[in-house]
Amino acid sequence: MHPNPLPRKRSFPTAARLLCPALFLCGAVALAADAPAGGKMYTLFQGDNISVGQGTDVYPVRDVNGRSWVIVVDGKEVLVSANLGPIAMKVTPLQKLTEVSATLSNMKAERGYTFMNDPAVRLTKGMSQTAQTNAGYAASVSQATAAQNVQIQASQMGVNRTSATGGTSPATNGDQQSLASSQQTLNAAAASAGSDLFPIDTRDTTGDFDALNVSFEISSDTPLNVPYLVTMTRFHERGAPEGSYKNLVYAKAIDPVSSKVTKVEFEQDGFPLGYTLEGFEVHLYDQGREVATNVSPKRQVLTSDQAFDYVRARYIEAHKGQTLTAVPVMGNLPDGLAAQVTAGKYSQPFFVKVSGEGTASEAYSDLACKDRIVDAYLDSVVRTIRFKPALSAGEPVEGVAMVDLSHLKF
DSSP characters over 21-69? -S-PPP-PPPPPSS---SS--EEEEEEEEEEEESSS--EEEEEEETTEE
What's residue 120's pLDDT? 72
DSSP assignment of 318-336:
HTTT--B--EEEEE---TT
**In a domain? residue 224:** yes
Q: Which residue has the higher pLDDT, 8 or 233?
A: 233
358 and 294 together in one domain: no
122 and 87 together in one domain: no
Domain that holds residue 235: 15-109+180-301
Residue 49 is which amino acid? N
**pLDDT exceeds 80 at position 11:** no
* Least confidently predicted of 175-189, 269-283, 309-323, 329-343: 175-189
Q: How far is CA 91 from the centre of its chain?
A: 12
69 and 140 together in one domain: no
Calculate the dihedral angle through the C-alpha atoms of 269, 270, 273, 276, rounding to the nearest 10 degrees: -80
334 and 351 together in one domain: yes
Other beta carbons within 10 angstroms of residue 140's beta carbon come to: 7
**Number of domains forming the structure of the chain:** 3
230 and 184 together in one domain: yes
Predicted confidence (pLDDT) per residue in 342-384, tens digit: 888 998 999 999 999 999 999 999 999 999 999 999 999 999 9
For residues 285-290, average pLDDT? 94
Predicted confidence (pLDDT) per residue in 232-259, tens digit: 999 999 999 988 999 999 999 999 999 9
158 and 188 together in one domain: no
**pLDDT exceeds 60 at position 16:** no
For residues 11-26, average pLDDT? 35
Q: Which residue has the higher pLDDT, 311 or 136?
A: 311
What's residue 124's pLDDT? 67
105 and 216 together in one domain: yes
What's residue 123's pLDDT? 66
Q: Last residue of a domain, which of 154, 178, 202?
A: 178
Q: What is the rounded CA–CA span in Å between residue 246 and residue 236? A: 7
What's residue 67's pLDDT? 82
